[in-house]
Amino acid sequence: MRAGLLLFGLASASVIACTFIVDGEFKDFGATCQLSGLTQTDCGRCLSSKCQSKIDAVCTSTSLTGNVAECAQNPAPGRNWNCSNLMGDAALHLQTPGPGQDALNQCSAQCMTECTKCTTIDAGTGACGQCIMTK
């Protein structure tokens, strides 16, 4: 009888402790979709401030949230523009967009200026590249 009560007490304490740990760890997640990069660059801050509700609507789509995170972290404008899947010409005129994708793409286009600024320069490793990076 005592062993049974002790076992029941231990199990109850474990469940309660686990609930508090999990609740404390995830308290900031709420209904807002948390993606890396949304606070680190001008592009990410623009996407977050203008399109957070659209991002929240597609939060379960890893391909769409991956596009947002990649664009927000380092837009890398130019030939390999990381935002092309989100706000490029083809993305803005999809024939059959997924649920929420069209709204997200159209909203993201408002951040075109912020998302076409260079955040890093790859000048190469040769003498010319070293000169550009040091002058």
Could you tell me which residues come within 8 angstroms of residue 75 by beta carbon, excluding any fewer than 6 positions away?
41, 43, 81, 82, 83, 114, 115, 116, 117, 119
- Would you state the structure tokens that stand for residue 119, as one six-digit string? 């955040």
Write the pLDDT tens digit of every residue in 22-57.
333 433 446 789 898 899 889 999 999 999 999 999
Residue 98 DSSP one-character state: P
d(CA 111, CA 72): 10
% of the chain at pLDDT higher than 70? 64
Which pLDDT value is given to residue 28? 43
Mean pLDDT confidence for 123-134: 65
Phi then psi for residue 39, to 5 deg, are: -120, 0
Q: What is the pTM of this model?
A: 0.63
Top pLDDT among 107 and 12 is at: 107
